[in-house]
Amino acid sequence: MKYAVLKFGGTSVASPELRERVAEKIIATKNEGYLPVVVVSAIGREGDPYATDTLIQLAKQTYRDLPKREMDILMSCGEIISGVVMTATLLAKGHPAVFLTGAQAGIITDRQYSEARILKVQPQSVTKFAQEGHIVVVAGFQGVTEDGDITTLGRGGSDTTAAALGVALNAAYVDIYTDVEGVMTADPRIVAEARTLDIITYDEICHLAHEGAKVVHPRAVEIAMQKGVPLRIRSTFTDAPGTLVTTAGEVYKGAIDITKDRVVTGIAYTPGIAQFKVSVGSDPEGVKQQRRMFRALALAGISIDFINVLSNVVLFTVKDEMAEKTAKVLENTGFKPEVITGCAKVSAVGAGMSGVPGVIADIVEALTKDDIQVLQCNDSHTTVWVLVKREEMEKAVRALHRQFKLDQ
């Protein structure tokens, strides 16, 4: 019998009614002949005493600078409490079930408290209990170091737990249950015609997630990708099949000409960006100036993005809230930057665009036709980024969605 890993986020387990629904999903999976392994996040309802944020508040009220080691131990209780309650829900429905902490489930991590990396999974307890006929419920978001210190995995940590267990158990699939029906071609609040994708590659969903789409944590996708364990992004609240995340071979199989099938898979966006334009003079002086500038920014701990070097001008972006500090650092180093705050990055992601000529030209043309000013653009083999003014962001997302016929 094959394993199936099911991960439920904090909003999915926040009330008895929701936990009933979650239990039904789990039992349905069992009835389909899988050995279900369930990963839960802390109860996510705001103000709930066992929500991660509430636990953090409790500690911070006493001491703002609580060491991360202790903060991790404290936070780990959130997933333990929701996991035990979820186990109780399954037992109440007459299904043998057992709960394991991250440590008990063999999630071994490094010592980077608050954003530990999983080093390996030792799933002996999981397999023992599952083979005995138990539904195994595992606390997400947490692990343990080799010498017994409790760690947490950072943002999206429960997704990562689920993917790592999926790989360790060689699971048939890892279902990431959430409050949306799957991965969409764009944010439906911006694009009314946005569709749920049936299928997407690991690479594409990683890029969409990195570019601001909040469906699954990229680290979880990277882990699943390593062994080719299929992920499914599904809704706790409906019976829709969701989006299957798999290899490009699976996604594009049967496509005679993938450029006709799908160049762009989805559109993502990130607001709150500031663009910097810095003149560095012409070479050979320019190269030295550039080096001096980048070193000054690195020393100041400023992380920059979207770097374009155009003859004697350097363009890059920082987060809006870092704009003032960045300007000061540059001025102190002898530069006179031009700054545009309030920008947004709009990204078109698609494995099918790799090697397809003219995609970036199509994008710039589509935006210009709609009177959207392109402040900067850039591309890699699966993503095109465009920097626009924040007030034109929604318009840009819609224009690109239309341009690549994502509504069809």
Residue ranges binding its own copies (CB under 8 A): 16, 19, 49-50, 55, 58-59, 61-63, 65-67, 69-71, 73-74, 76-77, 80-81, 84-85, 87-89, 91-92, 98-99, 101, 103-104, 125, 148-150
* CA–CA distance, 214 with 268 (Å, rounded to integer): 9
Provide the total of helices (H) and of strands (E) in the chain, helices listed first.
13, 18
Minimum distance between the CB of residue 58 and its own copies, rounded to whole angstroms?
6
Q: Which of 393, 403, 359 is nearest to 373 (CA)?
A: 393
Instruction: Closer to its own copies by CB, 62 or 408: give it.
Output: 62
Instruction: Closer to its own copies by CB, 82 or 382: give it.
Output: 82
Minimum distance between the CB of residue 7 and its own copies, rounded to whole angstroms?
20
User: Per this entry, what is the length of the chain?
Assistant: 408
Q: Which of 398, 344, 329, 337 is nearest to 366 (CA)?
A: 398
| Residue 159 CB contacts under 8 Å (≥ 6 apart), including other chains | 7, 140, 176, 216, 217, 219, 220
Instruction: Closer to its own copies by CB, 87 or 236: give it.
Output: 87
* CA–CA distance, 360 with 357 (Å, rounded to integer): 8
Minimum distance between the CB of residue 8 and its own copies, rounded to whole angstroms?
15
Distance, C-alpha 361 to centroid of its chain: 28
Minimum distance between the CB of residue 67 and its own copies, rounded to whole angstroms?
8
Instruction: Closer to its own copies by CB, 15 or 282: give it.
Output: 15
Residue 281: which region, alpha, beta or left (left: phi > 0; alpha: psi -120 to 50)? left
Q: Report the run of H or E that residue 53 belongs to, with start and end.
A: helix 52-62
Instruction: Closer to its own copies by CB, 77 or 296: give it.
Output: 77
Using DSSP bridges, classify how beta strands 376-379 and 383-389 pair: parallel, antiparallel or unpaired: antiparallel
Minimum distance between the CB of residue 80 and its own copies, rounded to whole angstroms?
6
Minimum distance between the CB of residue 151 and its own copies, rounded to whole angstroms?
13
Instruction: Closer to its own copies by CB, 72 or 175: give it.
Output: 72
Please tell me what DSSP assigns to residue 229: P
Instruction: Closer to its own copies by CB, 149 or 222: give it.
Output: 149
Minimum distance between the CB of residue 62 and its own copies, rounded to whole angstroms?
4
Minimum distance between the CB of residue 46 and its own copies, rounded to whole angstroms?
15
Q: Which of 144, 98, 100 is nearest to 120 (CA)?
A: 144
Instruction: Closer to its own copies by CB, 62 or 303: give it.
Output: 62
What type of residue is 333?
T
Q: Report the run of H or E that residue 267 belongs to, with start and end.
A: strand 266-279
Helix residue ranges, H only, 262-345: 285-299, 323-332
Distances (CA, A) of 395 to 185, 196, 269: 15, 20, 11
